[in-house]
């Protein structure tokens, strides 16, 4: 949606094996992604590996890989604000949409949560497959959004485990009971890191809400109406990115190494 987005070189997250001296070799899914974007010889792109961003120029597009020469190195600046989303597991592919949109918007980490009204029960290999799927969705979304870092996709936790281990930054709970919620600006008060819990369809139950409040989670509203759980997850990140201190500054401003 960025006007003239075509003028910003595309960005890819690469693996250590793809950086060879003064060359970068895009292979496998990164190659396919670059190919789909019609990256061609002579064009510039950005490649991020950990905290380093490489500026590169395509030399050769072969079947299966793209070879490029590194023309610059910068350190990726840390994100100016951090938003951690704790979203209840949802049926079908609903969380794919949340991961995709929340990543584009700037989410720092994503933790799927089991609550009392959560319907899907994911364990073992099924859980692992889901986590891997969300990581792929997040990577694709991060690349297309041009953000300089990947969101961390964490393991599935129960709500009690989240309460016990604690969360980073201001603890928030997406909640809809009028009269109970606190204004987001007051709740976050200039802080640049927050964690927000978003319940499943039907919401957290009364006992879970009570536990969250006991644990210091501050109830905030995402709007006056009843949102589907997936909409609430997306709106939570959109609204916090818009309202929290520092978030609106891009963290692509990096310094040359």
Residues interacting with a copy of itself, by CB under 8 A?
1-6, 8, 97, 101, 104-106, 144-147, 174-178, 184, 198-206, 209, 221-229, 231-232, 234-235, 238-239, 241-243, 247-252
Closer by beta carbon to a copy of itself, 36 or else 206: 206
Helix H or strand E segment including 54: strand 52-62
In the complex, what is the shortest distance from the CB of residue 128 to a copy of itself, in angstroms, rounded to a whole number?
A: 27
Closer by beta carbon to a copy of itself, 25 or else 106: 106
Contact 14, 47 (CB under 8 A): yes
Closer by beta carbon to a copy of itself, 25 or else 109: 109
Contact 135, 29 (CB under 8 A): no
Q: What is the DSSP letter of 221?
A: -
In the complex, what is the shortest distance from the CB of residue 205 to a copy of itself, in angstroms, rounded to a whole number?
A: 8
Q: How far apart are CA 186 and CA 5, in angstroms?
A: 35
Q: Is 63 exposed, middle or buried (0-12, 13-18, 19+ CB in 10 A)?
A: exposed
Closer by beta carbon to a copy of itself, 56 or else 229: 229
Closer by beta carbon to a copy of itself, 55 or else 104: 104
In the complex, what is the shortest distance from the CB of residue 124 to a copy of itself, in angstroms, rounded to a whole number?
A: 28
In the complex, what is the shortest distance from the CB of residue 121 to a copy of itself, in angstroms, rounded to a whole number?
A: 20
Place of tokens 């604690």: 166
In the complex, what is the shortest distance from the CB of residue 133 to a copy of itself, in angstroms, rounded to a whole number?
A: 19
3-state helix, strand, coil in the chain (%, to 5): 35, 30, 40
């Amino acid at each position: 949606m960025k006007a003239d987005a075509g003028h910003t070189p595309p960005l890819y997250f690469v693996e250590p094996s793809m950086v060879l001296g003064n060359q970068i070799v895009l292979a496998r899914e990164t190659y396919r992604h670059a190919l789909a974007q019609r990256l061609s010889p002579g064009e510039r792109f950005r490649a991020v590996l950990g905290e380093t961003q490489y500026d590169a120029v395509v030399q050769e597009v072969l079947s299966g890989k793209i070879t490029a020469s590194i023309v610059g190195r910068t350190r990726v600046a840390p994100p100016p604000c951090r938003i951690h989303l704790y979203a209840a597991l949802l049926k079908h592919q609903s969380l794919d949409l949340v991961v995709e949109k929340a990543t584009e918007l700037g989410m720092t980490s994503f933790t799927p949560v089991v609550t009392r009204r959560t319907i899907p029960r994911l364990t073992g290999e099924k859980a692992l497959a889901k986590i891997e799927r969300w990581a792929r969705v997040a990577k694709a979304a991060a690349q297309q959004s041009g953000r300089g870092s990947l969101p961390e996709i964490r393991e599935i936790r129960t709500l009690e485990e989240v309460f016990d281990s604690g969360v980073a930054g201001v603890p928030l709970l997406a909640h809809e009971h009028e009269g109970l919620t606190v204004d987001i600006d007051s709740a976050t008060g200039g802080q640049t890191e927050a964690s927000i819990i978003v319940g499943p369809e039907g919401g957290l139950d009364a006992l879970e809400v009570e536990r969250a409040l006991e644990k210091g989670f501050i109830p905030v509203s995402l709007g006056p109406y009843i949102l589907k759980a997936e909409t609430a997850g997306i709106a939570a990140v959109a609204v916090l990115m818009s309202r929290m201190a520092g978030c609106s500054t891009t963290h692509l401003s990096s310094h040359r190494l």
